[in-house]
Structure 1
Amino acid sequence: MTGLASALCYTLFSLPIARAADRGSPRQVLLGCVLFWSAMTGLGGLATSFAALTASRFGVAIGEAGAIPAAHALIARRIAPDRRGRALGLFSMGIPLGTMLGFSLGGVVADAHGWRTALLGAGVAGAVLAILLAGLGPTPPLREQGESVPFLKTGRVLLASRAFRWLLLAAVGVGFASAPFYAFAASFLIRVHGFSAAQAGLAFGLLQGGMGLVGTLLGGRDFDRRRSAGNRRLLATPATLFLVAGAAASAALFVPIGWLAIALLVPTMLSFAFMLPGAFGAAHLVAGAGHQAMASSMVLIASGLLGPTLAPMLVGAASDAAGDAGIRHGLRFGLLLVPIASAMTAAAMLVANRHIAGAGKPTMA
């Protein structure tokens, strides 16, 4: 319900919705997405069977499929290029902030009134947000009118760009690093270092949220600074941070002290957030005007399809194999996928840097 099926649903709808945002009004597309996923979230609270709940989750995935690409297209039209990294960073803050609020408030409401009320409340909150979004005013026209071609051809042209292909490979690497990290980090602290569920959740949740807020802001400023200075190595800083994060995460898995393990996981949390503005900003730069939503959609699919589907299963299989071999705390060895994928992400970013510096915008002709 939340794994491969949801990811495939997201993939099928993300590209055409993103294309609609690029060619039409991203504000209207974003408004429609928010209203749709809010309605489907609320309907999930009324579900009386697994099939009904699954259908509501598919509806949420459809709404989410177009939300971020449409928002990115709206940012591209409203914000000047020299400040776009900051804008993407501020927007990306919503991910860690929303996660913290969603889990904390949703948990409180669920404990007090049940999970159905929590879902209905979330749906109402989304509808209120959509009403506020409707007051943003008309969408500015494209600063540069992109060529009008079918969205499948746009995708093929973007994939023909070496710079964009390496950006997609970096996104795949992030998916393989982040999915098992978020799935198993708390379990690692509980099993290996004896933390209670509450202690692990509090420490990990607060740090992840804090690093998410700081990372997105700093990542956006770094992207703008490098672009304004004429430095085409736009992803050099996040690539370096991923290398540091990979080394620190490797050490975190084997140190004997719990608080030190948590401290060594902080660079990984920071790297995931720091790269968001730069990765999307670089993808927009390569794609060109009128194709930002499409570029964001393809990056999101690359990060959200293979990694979240396969990586947790690989970690679980490695952990089970280590346990069968008599190795204590086999989860440590399974989670080595996180630093390995982080290093691969860094390498892909560095190669993408080189191609971005030497390539122009892809032509849609």
Structure 2
Amino acid sequence: MSHEVTSLTTAESQWVYGWRRTLLLITLLLVSIFSQIDRILPFILAESIKADLGLSDTQLGLITGMAFSICYSLASLPLARFSDHGWAKQVLVGCILIWSAMTGLGGLATGFAALALSRIGVALGEAGGTPASHALIVHKIPEQLHGRAIGLYAMGIPLGTMLGFALGGWASDNVGWRNALFGAGTFGGLVVILVLLFTEKNNVIKRDAGEDFFRSARTLLSKPAFFWLFIATNLLGFASAPFYTFAAPFLIRTHGLTASEVGISFGLLQGLMGIAGTLLGGRLFDRAVNRGSLTLLNPPAIVFGLSAITTLAGLFAPVSWMSIALFVPGMFSFAFLLPYGFGAGHLVAGPGKQALASGLLMLGSGLFSATLSPLLVGMISDAATATGVENGLQAGLLVAPVFILFTAAACFVVSRRLAVYHSWH
């Protein structure tokens, strides 16, 4: 890939060490946590929002899926491009301000349209969070630690989910869904101060003058290893988006739990499994890359195969604790893949295109899959309920284990494609 680079700033001169590295990673972890809290809150608040605004499951699927994911996915690519070109810190500051403000404004919604518009605003802000953070990681952290650094950043997803479910469930039962959104928007904005204090401008890698944004994206997607990784992220979105969107309503309706009970039990386990998955995934990914593994994505493929079985069983478990316990492997698998997926994407993309790779993978997991799958589940649920099925949402959620299994198969294909791509050896 050296023919693509005309000049390259020495990476070692840009790396940070000691307390500066620690503060950078902590700051990016907090960015990830608050981003996930603002994204996940409508999931645990869904039943309260549905009752207050008179929404259907299809409308819930539109708000949590299409309204968020289309904007999130499309905006991620240009924001990734800005991040790769040395504007990662500025992108991050602007994005946090936007998503925090729009989360708070969601608490003022009086109907479906207003709430959908607020979620579009949240998506616009959050679209730049991951590409900008990844750009800072690859430019400020030594290469041999990238997997662990990405895993630490990705740990914000389960931590944010855990806090969002727990605090959101409590807020739903005690202070109302509107105040939950107001509070999240206010506290999320405070992270901007940490970003201003503890992050630095990322260095710029100059490229051929004729190389533009779309050519870079096409070139990356033309590589079989990255193309199949893109397919795998699409399938992951079809599996994970409905799981997180409707897991809380499913447990409330099927097993009679309160929002607080779901928030504490499901949210706590999701947080713990997510932490374990991202940290273990990051460490194992670094170890596999350093030894030149030719089966790089086989571990997440195996984990996904097992979780497809347990998730299916969890939908038909007779009691709540058993259902939640059977959902645990799925929680772990979604997090376990993150450092593997982004790390492999960065390896294939090469220097100066890591944020673009992250943006494309976010596009894969968000534009079609995360947009359509919650809507599909909501439509199946409403249709099944209309025909007299006692638990229509259970029928709709069968989408999740099917696509978890497809994701496992795609990961095996990615491993085979990566085996002939030795740029990191």
Task: Please indicate the TM-score interval, normalised by the length of the shorter structure.
Answer: 0.7 to 0.9
Tell me the distance in 2 between the aligned counterparts of 1:49 and 1:319: 21
1:171 aligns with 2:233: yes
Among 50, 61, 67, which residue is 2:123 paired with? 61
Q: Is the 1:6–1:58 contact (alpha carbons within 8 Å) kept by the matching residues of 2?
A: yes
| Corresponding residue number in structure 1 for 2:405 | 343
Q: Deviations over 1:87-110 (max 9, x none)?
A: 111101111212333344456667
Structure 1 stretches lacking a partner, 5+ long: none
Tell me the distance in 1 between the aligned counterparts of 2:107 and 2:358: 31
307-316 or 70-79: which moved more? 307-316
Q: Is the 1:3–1:308 contact (alpha carbons within 8 Å) kept by the matching residues of 2?
A: yes
Q: Tell me how far 1:130 sits from its aligned partner.
A: 1.1
| Corresponding residue number in structure 1 for 2:358 | 296
Among 188, 191, 199, which residue is 2:261 paired with? 199
Q: Is the 1:145–1:289 contact (alpha carbons within 8 Å) kept by the matching residues of 2?
A: no
| Corresponding residue number in structure 2 for 1:73 | 135
Q: Tell me how far 1:147 sits from its aligned partner.
A: 4.7
1:227 aligns with 2:286: no
Tell me the distance in 1 between the aligned counterparts of 2:398 and 2:167: 33
Paired letter, 2:325: A
Tell me the distance in 2 between the aligned counterparts of 1:320 and 1:140: 48
| Corresponding residue number in structure 2 for 1:133 | 195
Tell me the distance in 2 between the aligned counterparts of 1:172 and 1:77: 27
Paired letter, 2:264: L
| Corresponding residue number in structure 1 for 2:314 | 252
Structure 2 stretches lacking a partner, 5+ long: 1-62
Tell me the distance in 1 between the aligned counterparts of 2:109 and 2:141: 41
Paired letter, 1:85: G
Paired letter, 1:67: G
Q: Is the 1:21–1:69 contact (alpha carbons within 8 Å) kept by the matching residues of 2?
A: yes
Q: Is the 2:304–2:333 contact (alpha carbons within 8 Å) kept by the matching residues of 1?
A: yes
1:18 aligns with 2:74: no
Structure 1 residues 338 and 74 mapped into 2: Cα distance closer, same or farther (>3 Å)? Answer: same
Secondary structure of 2:316's match?
coil
Secondary structure of 1:141's match?
coil
Structure 1 residues 184 and 140 mapped into 2: Cα distance closer, same or farther (>3 Å)? Answer: closer
326-335 or 286-295: which moved more? 326-335
Q: Is the 1:286–1:360 contact (alpha carbons within 8 Å) kept by the matching residues of 2?
A: no
1:188 aligns with 2:227: no
Structure 1 residues 220 and 316 mapped into 2: Cα distance closer, same or farther (>3 Å)? Answer: same
CA RMSD of aligned residues (A): 2.8
| Corresponding residue number in structure 2 for 1:211 | 273
Q: Deviations over 1:124-159 (max 9, x none)?
A: 4333211111122533525x6555621111111111
Q: Is the 1:179–1:308 contact (alpha carbons within 8 Å) kept by the matching residues of 2?
A: yes
Q: Deviations over 1:279-303 (max 9, x none)?
A: 1111111111111111111111211
Paired letter, 2:146: R
Tell me the distance in 2 between the aligned counterparts of 1:118 and 1:314: 27
| Corresponding residue number in structure 1 for 2:25 | none
Paired letter, 1:154: S
Structure 1 residues 158 and 186 mapped into 2: Cα distance closer, same or farther (>3 Å)? Answer: same
Show the 5 A alignment for 1:328-339: 329-339=391-401
325-334 or 177-186: which moved more? 325-334
Structure 1 residues 107 and 323 mapped into 2: Cα distance closer, same or farther (>3 Å)? Answer: closer
Structure 1 residues 198 and 348 mapped into 2: Cα distance closer, same or farther (>3 Å)? Answer: same
Among 191, 216, 223, which residue is 1:161 paired with? 223
226-235 or 93-102: which moved more? 93-102
Tell me the distance in 1 between the aligned counterparts of 2:116 and 2:392: 33
Among 340, 349, 364, which residue is 1:278 paired with? 340
Q: Is the 2:135–2:202 contact (alpha carbons within 8 Å) kept by the matching residues of 1?
A: no
TM-score, normalised to structure 1, is 0.87
Structure 1 residues 217 and 44 mapped into 2: Cα distance closer, same or farther (>3 Å)? Answer: same
Tell me the distance in 1 between the aligned counterparts of 2:72 and 2:399: 25
Structure 1 residues 57 and 317 mapped into 2: Cα distance closer, same or farther (>3 Å)? Answer: closer
